[in-house]
Amino acid sequence: MEKDIKKVLVSREEIAQKTQEFGAILTEEYKDTMPLVVGILKGAVPFMADLVREIKVPLEMDFMDVSSYGDALVSSGEVKIVKDLNTNVMGRDVLIVEDIIDSGRTLKYLVELFIYRQAKSVKIVTLLDKPEGRAVELEADYAGFLVPNEFVVGYGLDYKENYRHLPYVGVLKEEVYES
Ligand SMILES: O=P(O)(O)OC[C@H]1O[C@H](OP(=O)(O)OP(=O)(O)O)[C@H](O)[C@@H]1O
Ligand code: HPA
Ligand SMILES: [Mg+2]
């Protein structure tokens, strides 16, 4: 295990099993349409890559990068588009793929944006959900694992841009934050 990790919260085996389970559900859900699967950069990249390979119907992929932090360390509450979609969502069934829902601000903004842009449907699949972090009302259609109110890293999630490549989700040792 990576030396900076205090404990593993979700193992790679658990992630793989959940991804297969979601893939089967989404295959059924989107069998009569061609969904636009939208990954939110950068955290969603590993989950998106694994999940789409379990969805056995035609689909399109696109990515969006949003920021609610600006130059500040704490969320301003205001979400800004850093990179928009290349695809028009009008009339499309949109599936947003996220690594985590924490305050809920990022996804609330995106759901409202896609509805404003006249998507036919907007659904959310997230690997992790941290309900105690919520600042706005927002629920995922599919949430893989509940996590406690701790800062988690791995499988897309970063601390200062590191640890995204870990194949599991874990909690960092205190000394990593302190140093
Ligand atoms: O529910 P919220 O409080 O809005 O937090 C969740 C968002 O925050 C993280 O992204 P971040 O802005 O750190 O970008 P990153 O994915 O590039 O790390 C995470 O990947 C979600 O997109
Ligand atoms: O717990 C977290 N870890 C990493 N990135 C995050 N973005 C929101 N919550 C988290
Ligand atoms: Mg981040």
pLDDT tens digits, one per residue of 130-176: 999 999 999 999 999 999 999 999 999 999 999 999 999 999 998 99
23-77: pLDDT as tens digits: 999 999 999 999 999 999 999 999 999 999 999 999 999 999 998 755 554 566 7
Nearest Cα to Cα of residue 49 among 164, 171, 134: 164
Query: Looking at domain 12-68+77-148, which CATH architecture does it have?
Result: 3-Layer(aba) Sandwich (3.40)
> What pLDDT score was predicted for residue 99?
98
SS3 106: helix
Q: How far is it, in rounded angstroms, from Cα 102 to Cα 134?
A: 6
**Token duo for residue 35:** 């969904």
Nearest Cα to Cα of residue 77 among 99, 108, 115, 122: 108
- Ligand 3 center to residue 99 CA distance, Å? 10
- Helices (H) and strands (E) counted in the chain, each on its own, are 4, 9
Q: Could you state, in order of their start, the residue ranges of all structural domains in the chain?
A: 12-68+77-148
> What pLDDT score was predicted for residue 72?
55
Amino acid at residue number 43: G
- Ligand 1 center to residue 106 CA distance, Å? 7
Output DSSP code: residue 14.
H
> Is the model's pLDDT at 177 over the cut of 70?
yes
Q: How far is it, in rounded angstroms, from Cα 133 to Cα 22?
A: 24
Sign of the CA dihedral 164, 168, 170, 176?
negative
Nearest Cα to Cα of residue 80 among 94, 88, 69: 69
Ligand 1 site, residue 68, Cβ cutoff 6 A: yes
Ligand 1 site, residue 113, Cβ cutoff 6 A: no
- Ligand 2 center to residue 151 CA distance, Å? 6
